Amino acid sequence: MNTQAITRRNGSQGTLAVADIDEFAKRLRGRLVRRGDADYAGVRAIWNGMIEKQPALIARVQGVADVIEVIRFARQHDLLISVRGGGHNVAGTALCDDGLTIDLTQMKAVLVDASAREAVVQAGATWGDVDRETQLYGLAVPSGIISTTGVPGLTLGGGFGWLSRKHGYTCDNLLEAELVTADGRVIRASAKENADLFWGLRGGGGNFGVVTAFKFRLQPVGPQVVGGMILYPLDKAAEVLKFFREFTTSAPEELGALAVLRPAPPAPFLPKELHGKPVVAIVVCYVGDPEEGARVLKPLKEFGQPLADVIGPKPFTALQAMLDGGQLAGRRYYWKSEYLHEIKEGTIDTLIAQARQLGSPHSAILVFQLGGAISRVGPLETAASGRDARYIVNIAGAWENKQDNEREMKWVRDTWAAVRPFGTGAVYVNFMANDERPERLHAAYGTEIYQRLAALKDRHDPDNFFRTNQNILPARERRPAEVATVN
């Protein structure tokens, strides 16, 4: 065989000459991995084991010049492409069937300028990589709550975590991005340069180019913080969630808080007899003065009769990785999510009823507190949504075996249907599953942001070269009614 089957940008099937692929491989500094190579399966693997997409080619790029080379080659042969950062997106948008995946995971440099309180981060880094370097100076970028998540996808969708009530979304701390455009040019986007793109990159996902590096503002954090987890039996969930509501309503912005309903994971920091028992947990991180943190957390530590309490002083890097073990790569994952303005009595009853129906030992319902600095940025200042929400609920189905797909996905969908009446109607774009596009994308952003993103897509990617993502359609692919509302 001297041709390779491929998918074109419009979804049609075609072939590529192997000689052309060989030539292309030689032009890259990184390696081009092909289907059939011994390490293909390992290179292709992403966090969500449900995603079966098989790219024909995976370019493990080693720099901006490689990214340009890949974009030129894909353009020349009209190839479908996808862009992979940390590979954590639940919808599996990092991969594309029979296309060409731009894999950034070899580009992991993190350069900290402690005196300027800035860091330049290459797009293959994870948040664990970033924390490791920035914490040397007691600095951090507000990021997510799992250290193995990739920097690019999380930042481009908005990004929230323990530091967000104090310091805003991840994208609120972005100062500049270096990206390669759909026509293979390297440009910078910041408040001063390509400001329209800079707006869209802060929430609009991978719709406008391949970001090769991010420059972030750093915030003083740790290196010691007060945080951890306190667990109660699920039978006490009504009291615990009411306490969580009151506690988070009056808590200072230094506190990040999350409530979780799930079977207790087999975490090394939990007593063995608890593993697998249905629990409700409150997980916290206080990022100010440790003594003040102990005072703020006292009512929580004194509330009820916990099964276990592992809240205390710890390195920020340890807290950032504390929940990693419950989110192992390769399991099957399916999520649905809603923003909430408040936690009503009905919300609490619904969450508990659905937690009782939970089948898999790995599934969970998570309620994360938002607000604070997130809500002080105007709703249209960036493309990131959810600034008016005070909480976000994520219904996170996770299981091992394919034969359980239907049962576990049904639980997620049923739970979502029950929670929806209490939601704001919007959704966090980074928590959307692969079966919700494009219908929920409008809801994710709301009309005004969506329309601005669509106009930006027309300017910067009118051919929809970057389409394997939470895709904002350019005018030539929108239905007439949609075009009318955008123009």
Q: How far is the CB of 46 from ligand FAD (least distance, A)?
A: 6
204 scored as a contact of ligand FAD (CB under 6 A): no
Please report, as residue ranges, which positions from 306 to 335 form the binding site for ligand FAD (by CB under 6 A): 327
Q: How far is the CB of 300 from ligand FAD (least distance, A)?
A: 20
Q: How far is the CB of 205 from ligand FAD (least distance, A)?
A: 5
- Kindly tell me which of 158 and 306 has the beta carbon lying closer to ligand FAD: 158
265 scored as a contact of ligand FAD (CB under 6 A): no
Mask 404-443, x = binds ligand FAD (CB under 6 A)? --------------------------x-------------
203 scored as a contact of ligand FAD (CB under 6 A): no
Q: How far is the CB of 20 from ligand FAD (least distance, A)?
A: 25
Structure tokens at 244: 């969580």
Give the one residue of 32, 61, 104, 182 binding ligand FAD; rule: CB under 6 A: 104
What is the rounded CA–CA span in Å between residue 126 and residue 108?
A: 8
> Apex CA 340: angle with CA 455 and CA 246, to 5°?
145
Q: How far is the CB of 55 from ligand FAD (least distance, A)?
A: 12
- Kindly tell me which of 149 and 352 has the beta carbon lying closer to ligand FAD: 149
Q: How far is the CB of 144 from ligand FAD (least distance, A)?
A: 3
Torsion of CA 72, 73, 78, 79, to 10 degrees: -120
- Kindly tell me which of 160 and 286 has the beta carbon lying closer to ligand FAD: 160
55 scored as a contact of ligand FAD (CB under 6 A): no
Site size for ligand FAD (CB under 6 A) = 34
Mask 72-101, x = binds ligand FAD (CB under 6 A)? ----------xxxxxxxxx--xx-------
- Kindly tell me which of 201 and 351 has the beta carbon lying closer to ligand FAD: 201
What is the rounded CA–CA span in Å between residue 428 and residue 479?
A: 24
157 scored as a contact of ligand FAD (CB under 6 A): yes
- Kindly tell me which of 111 and 116 has the beta carbon lying closer to ligand FAD: 111
- Kindly tell me which of 286 and 303 has the beta carbon lying closer to ligand FAD: 286
Q: CA 184 from chain center: how many Å?
A: 26
- Kindly tell me which of 340 and 352 has the beta carbon lying closer to ligand FAD: 340
Mask 347-386, x = binds ligand FAD (CB under 6 A)? ----------------------------------------
Q: Which residue is nearest to ligand FAD (CB)?
A: 153
- Kindly tell me which of 352 and 366 has the beta carbon lying closer to ligand FAD: 366
214 scored as a contact of ligand FAD (CB under 6 A): no
Give the one residue of 30, 99, 159, 423 binding ligand FAD; rule: CB under 6 A: 159
- Kindly tell me which of 93 and 135 has the beta carbon lying closer to ligand FAD: 93
Which among 315, 284, 314, 316 is positioned nearest to 300, based on CA atoms? 284
What is the rounded CA–CA span in Å between residue 274 and residue 265?
A: 8
219 scored as a contact of ligand FAD (CB under 6 A): no
Report strand pairing: 364-369 vs 255-263: antiparallel
Contacting positions for ligand FAD (CB under 6 A): 47, 82-90, 93-94, 104, 123, 144-146, 149-150, 152-154, 156-157, 159-161, 205-206, 210-211, 327, 430, 469
